[in-house]
Structure 1
Amino acid sequence: MDSSQLYSGARGRSARGGSEIGERVGAMRRSSEMRRALVLSILVLATSGCLGMPGSLPPCDSWSADHAICGLMNPEDLGSLPHGGWVVVSEMHLADPRAGEEAGPFLPGRLTAIRSRETDGKIERRQLFPNEWAEAATETNRWGDPGCEGPPSSEDFQPHGIDVGMGPEGRSALAVVTHGFREVIDLFEIAAGSEPALAWRGCVEMLGEMSANDVALLGDGSLVVTNMIPRLESVGVKAIWIMLKIRLGLHTGSVLHWSPSGGWSELQKSQASAPNGIATSADGHVVYVAEWGGGAVYRLRFAGGLRGGAIPLRDEVAVEGHPSQLTWTADGRLLVGAQRAGPIKVVSCGRIEAGGCDIGYSVTSIEVDDLVATKVAEGRGAVSVALEVDDEIWLGVFAGDSVTRLPKVE
């Protein structure tokens, strides 16, 4: 029961003074609760060993080209394009969380394609979006929500989680969680051919306080996204409270399903502490989610599919660190990139101005039939995704200037 319910009877019986007293008491209680939450948050964070600022790693241009792809901007998520041996990279600008409006607009992000094999000793890359051709969608062939306003602006495009999959009519598609001045899932068609190209086809708007982190296409025009935390407009008491809940492993979000006919709905039993990366089985009946705040990957098995409010079976497997993005290997395993540091230290990586963020990472392989997890790599850097690319594992980071290339472990 909240204060409005508590004092509704008094307002009905009393004159104006009773209403003012009730409102004043309610305001004092809310203020007191906020102060207690703030003090508790500071105490917990201060005693958790996670308030220290991370150091920085050397810029990528000082590394060997055999081990890294340099010149990128926070390559947070990676996906293999279906035609011609290219990898799509989601590059999102990170703003200093201490900065306000006076810091000016964000630098625009971008989607970049990188050829998986070197040509004459060089790494070939192409900017897929912003791109004039990619923005020229055919109005009669729109995907997603018909009410979508149009393609994202190149000035504030901020791509986050991505998924390469099947769109309407069996066409190859790229779904992109997009931040900036709007919160949407942008949908692109991947052009067939040896050279990578995208055509924007539509979007799905996130509603209310929804704040998407990652997305997975289901092949029938529908999709699932992780709603990690409520949308935050600034760094304040609400943000501190959410960070405390994550630190304690409490629920902050869930998995949402969108379909052209049914719109948005929440998947049953999907609530988690900062749900992050997401992946689905080929038939769309199993959903895998990286629980960043809980240090686990959980599985939702729907016997008859995701429609109709079905109740799934849920189980999970623990992984080392805070798991972020999930990707599939050629032999059907999941690769999980995770950060090995406290939540505040991980978030503070956004303040690194050059090079990489000096926190630990781990990469875990999961056998999805029996949820057996095996650590396959570890090191230093703000790794958010691990992708199998030919005979290598590519590591993307949410804060840094490079993709690291490791030999694949059998």
Structure 2
Amino acid sequence: MMPSVYCFGRSLTSPGVYSVARLGQDSCALLWRDRMTRAVSGMLLAALLGLAGVSGAGIADPGERAVPCETRDGIEPVCGLSAPEDIVVAPGGEGLVFGQMHAPGGLFLLDTGDHSVTPLYSGADRDSTAWGQADCRQPPQILLAHGIDLSQRKDGRWQLLVVNHGGRESVEFYEWLPGPGAPAVAWRGCVAAPEDASLNDVAGLPDGGFLVTRMTSTQSPNWELFLAAIGFDNGVVYQWSAGEGYRTLPATKGRFPNGIVLSPDGGSFFVNMYLGNKVVKFSFPGGEPLGQVSVSKPDNASWSPDGKLLVASQFGSLLALFDSLSLPPGTPSLLPYAVMEVDPETLAKRELFWHEGAPMGAGTVAVQVEDAVYVGSYVGDRLVRVPLKPAS
């Protein structure tokens, strides 16, 4: 047996997420070769974008990246966070639940009245009565939350699903525990990701299963990101159930599938093809395409109180995007973004607002609370509250 060594690396598709793998020397050599391939693919992508005349506008000078935590143009930041990438409304209007994708990670509750933040789960808190796989007996030591979803199971209990990149690639199950006193969640097991699958977002199903988007490979994420950028449909949606495990929905292949939501009636689901610049509606069950609408770099989606789909949409060249991904921890991106409203039946769209600059850019999700939306991001130390203007 070859002696073991430790290989240390960072993932571009989960910025700020580091992993340590105990591998044989041959495996480390392969890992090093793969990283060199990623670096070369990055240079090829930059050259390709340069030849295509894609501007690098929006790439900030490192000395100009400090962004004050102050209200601008009515947009109010909530700071002291760590990449709050996805947000959902808590049951009973008790606030907003969000995860942190960068260390220290965890799940939190935002009070929309005074913007106070309460920790819900940080990792390693063990609970019982698992809903996930039987062989998942230990909670994650650190929860680095990407996409999250809150839905009711058939028995009426609230299921909170979280795509986790901390220590393992998985979908973590939690139960929202209502009742007197402070809100709480309990860990209810997990489901490991399929082999070589880097997951992005998840949508719960009434039977306790879920739909989840595979954005890239875990072994060569930057290479797959490059392939998606030049037109390859190498992402897909998986459906998981306790009885059958994972199965691929072939018709959902696309370029970097990102956010996913199930329709309120359960008859369809929507997938945001980030590098395909479109939102696609699929039948459920079945997973057959029913229609699509063009949206620039759609990230996550949520349902508005009046039944419309709210889609966070980003703008800028891929070079500007890569620069945004490589910002130092805690530094907010100023990548332009918009929130689009999509009619789930007609797929007609309209822009609710567009923003560039401080106090935050690179919006990844928009969740409506009364006459405002709360917007998260995959990088930086904040989320923001944006007042909505009445429809004209």
The alignment's TM-score, normalised by the length of structure 2, stands at 0.81
Identity %, equivalent residues: 29
Query: How far apart are 1:136 and its partner, in Å?
Result: 3.4
Q: Counterpart of 1:228 in structure 2: which amino acid?
A: M
Query: How far apart are 1:150 and its partner, in Å?
Result: 1.5
2-structure distance, mates of 1:344, 1:42 = 7
Q: Give SS of 1:43's match.
A: helix
Residues 145/390 of structure 1: CA separation in 2 closer, same or farther (3 Å cut)? same
Q: Is the 8 A contact 1:363 1:378 kept in 2?
A: yes
Q: Is the 8 A contact 2:69 2:77 kept in 1?
A: no
* Equivalent in the alignment of 1:314: 290
* Equivalent in the alignment of 1:44: 48
Residues 337/330 of structure 1: CA separation in 2 closer, same or farther (3 Å cut)? same
Q: Give SS of 2:305's match.
A: coil
- Among 258, 267, 271, the residue aligned to 2:253: 271
1-structure distance, mates of 2:123, 2:45 = 44
**Structure 1 unmatched ranges of 5 or more:** 1-32, 94-106, 233-237
* Equivalent in the alignment of 1:167: 153
2-structure distance, mates of 1:174, 1:112 = 12
Residues 161/240 of structure 1: CA separation in 2 closer, same or farther (3 Å cut)? closer
* Equivalent in the alignment of 1:59: 67
Which has more radius of gyration? 1
- Superposed, which structure 2 residues align to 1:53-202 within 5 Å? 54-55=59-60, 58-63=66-71, 67-93=76-102, 107-118=103-114, 123-130=115-122, 135-138=125-128, 141-154=129-142, 157-167=143-153, 169-193=155-179, 195-202=182-189
1-structure distance, mates of 2:85, 2:240 = 24
Q: Is the 8 A contact 2:58 2:335 kept in 1?
A: no
Q: Give SS of 2:86's match.
A: strand
The alignment's TM-score, normalised by the length of structure 1, stands at 0.78
Q: Give SS of 2:155's match.
A: helix
Q: Give SS of 2:207's match.
A: coil
2-structure distance, mates of 1:401, 1:45 = 30
Query: How far apart are 1:42 and its partner, in Å?
Result: 4.5
1-structure distance, mates of 2:192, 2:156 = 23
* Equivalent in the alignment of 2:32: none
1-structure distance, mates of 2:119, 2:39 = 47
2-structure distance, mates of 1:311, 1:298 = 11
Q: Is the 8 A contact 2:280 2:289 kept in 1?
A: no
1-structure distance, mates of 2:211, 2:275 = 20
Number of aligned residue pairs: 343
Deviation readout 1:199-251 (Å, 9 max, x if unpaired): 0011111021111100000111110000011114xxxxx55532332222321
Residues 260/177 of structure 1: CA separation in 2 closer, same or farther (3 Å cut)? same
Q: Counterpart of 2:325 in structure 1: which amino acid?
A: G
**Structure 2 unmatched ranges of 5 or more:** 1-36
Residues 37/108 of structure 1: CA separation in 2 closer, same or farther (3 Å cut)? closer
* Equivalent in the alignment of 2:327: 352
Residues 53/371 of structure 1: CA separation in 2 closer, same or farther (3 Å cut)? closer
1-structure distance, mates of 2:325, 2:42 = 22
Query: How far apart are 1:52 and its partner, in Å?
Result: 6.3
Q: Is the 8 A contact 1:60 1:401 kept in 2?
A: no
Q: Counterpart of 1:163 in structure 2: which amino acid?
A: D
1:382 and 2:391 equivalent?
Answer: no
Deviation readout 1:307-328 (Å, 9 max, x if unpaired): xxx3524321001x21100100
Q: Is the 8 A contact 1:163 1:176 kept in 2?
A: yes
Q: Give SS of 2:69's match.
A: helix
- Among 197, 201, 222, the residue aligned to 2:209: 222
1-structure distance, mates of 2:331, 2:71 = 11
2-structure distance, mates of 1:178, 1:35 = 26
- Among 299, 309, 312, the residue aligned to 1:337: 312
